């Protein structure tokens, strides 16, 4: 998605930790507009925080858009992935901004919503778009299954004040549509044309343009909010445990082997472990820990 958006010719490699790119586009003035793109390949509050506050964005969080990529071909992990991502992103926001800025963000997001905001809608602090990937596999699902997953994701996005967009790297039409979407968020391009709410087709709904009434998700006896939507989805598609979907710690990946640093890190971890054990046993005297630097 990112490489095609930025018209890169290289073959993209899997992102282990975080990858930064940028693009330029001629604006109305002689100065070109710049978009900063961070792809976070490991759910880490510190990595996401670094992306949020990177470059000149520290004092302009209103210009940041969060995009969460979900794998539509794996219903058993969709909700777990969404929930875990939201949790880590919320932690990153707290790490990145003070209370005053966070309050300003919340007020701005609330004002962006239409005046008749429905009960159960609690806008996410930052602009948010949920992207459902691998639509080429998802479209082969049973129509009833596709309809339920589509309705639930649509309702979840609406409850968060987010947009929803289905994508496939194997569909030229969707690739072009996704490029337009990224340009819309990255450069503030003209409004995207059209939307799609047909569950037999790839969904495309902009933030603030939907409603629970239009979604028609049946929620008998359940609250019309994010938690109620979760109960509907997980009752039909039980989610795998966190251990099953947990990503590998990028610090342990072979691509990041650094013998000297790894040895010092192991030494420090052993010393910390000894210190913790001594504290648990009730000893309070100081235990010397070497400085690897």
CA quadruple 54, 55, 56, 62: dihedral sign: negative
Q: Are strands 32-40 and 65-71 parallel, antiparallel or unpaired?
A: unpaired
SS3 252: helix
CB 146 within 8 A of CB 114: no
What average pLDDT does the chain have? Answer: 82
264/241 Cα distance (integer angstroms): 33
For the range 179-182, what are the long-range contacts, defined as Cβ-Cβ under 8 Å and sequence gap of 24 or more? 179/4, 179/5, 181/129, 182/1, 182/2, 182/5
72's torsion region: left (phi>0), alpha (psi -120 to 50) or beta?
alpha
Q: Which residues pair with 24 in a beta bridge?
A: 34
pTM of this structure: 0.78
For the chain, the structural domain boundaries read 2-245
Render pLDDT for 197-216 as a digit per residue (tens, 0 to 9): 999 999 999 988 888 888 98
Q: What is the pLDDT of residue 10?
A: 84
CATH of 2-245, one of 2.60.40, 2.40.230, 3.40.50, 1.20.58: 3.40.50
Q: Of 232, 182, 178, whose CA–CA distance to 202 is shortest?
A: 178
The beta strand positions in 108-236, using DSSP E, are: 127-133, 163-166, 204-205
Q: What is the pLDDT of residues 36-48, one digit of tens each?
A: 899 998 888 888 8
More confident residue, 292 or 167: 167
Q: Which residues have C-beta within 8 Å of that of residue 6, sequence separation ≥ 6?
A: 21, 22, 23, 37
Q: Hey, which residues does 42 pair with through a beta bridge?
A: none
User: What is the token pair recorded at 84?
Assistant: 């875990």
The side-by-side arrangement of strands in the sheet containing 127-133 is 65-71, 127-133, 163-166, 204-205
Q: Given a cut of 50, is residue 243 above it in pLDDT?
A: no
Q: pLDDT category, 115, cuts 50, 70, 90? A: very low
Three-state DSSP state, 274: helix
């Amino acid at each position: 998605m990112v490489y095609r958006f930025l018209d890169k010719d290289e073959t993209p490699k899997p992102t282990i930790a975080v990858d930064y790119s940028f693009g330029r586009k001629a604006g109305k003035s002689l100065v070109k507009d710049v978009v900063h793109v961070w792809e976070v390949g490991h759910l880490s509050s510190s990595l996401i925080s670094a992306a949020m506050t990177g470059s000149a964005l520290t004092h302009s969080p209103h210009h940041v858009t969060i995009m969460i990529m979900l794998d539509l071909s794996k219903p058993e992990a969709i909700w777990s992935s969404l929930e875990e991502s939201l949790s880590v992103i919320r932690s990153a926001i707290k790490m990145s901004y003070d209370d005053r800025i966070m309050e300003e963000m919340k007020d701005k997001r609330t004002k962006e919503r239409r005046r008749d905001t429905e009960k159960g809608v609690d806008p996410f602090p930052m602009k948010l778009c949920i992207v459902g990937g691998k639509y080429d596999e998802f479209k082969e699902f049973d129509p009833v299954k596709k309809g339920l997953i589509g309705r639930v994701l649509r309702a979840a996005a609406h409850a968060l004040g987010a947009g929803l967009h289905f994508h496939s790297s194997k569909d030229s039409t969707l690739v072009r549509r996704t490029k337009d979407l990224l340009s819309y968020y990255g450069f503030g391009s003209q409004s995207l044309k059209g939307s799609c709410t047909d569950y037999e087709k790839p969904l495309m709904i902009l933030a603030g343009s939907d409603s629970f009434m239009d979604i028609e998700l049946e929620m008998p006896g359940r609250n019309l909010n994010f938690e109620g939507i979760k109960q509907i989805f997980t009752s039909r598609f039980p989610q795998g445990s966190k251990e099953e979907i947990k990503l590998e710690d990028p610090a342990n990946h072979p691509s990041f082997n650094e013998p000297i640093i790894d040895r010092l890190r192991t030494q420090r971890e052993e010393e910390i472990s000894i210190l913790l054990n001594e504290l648990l046993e009730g000893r309070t005297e100081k235990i010397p820990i070497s400085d690897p630097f």
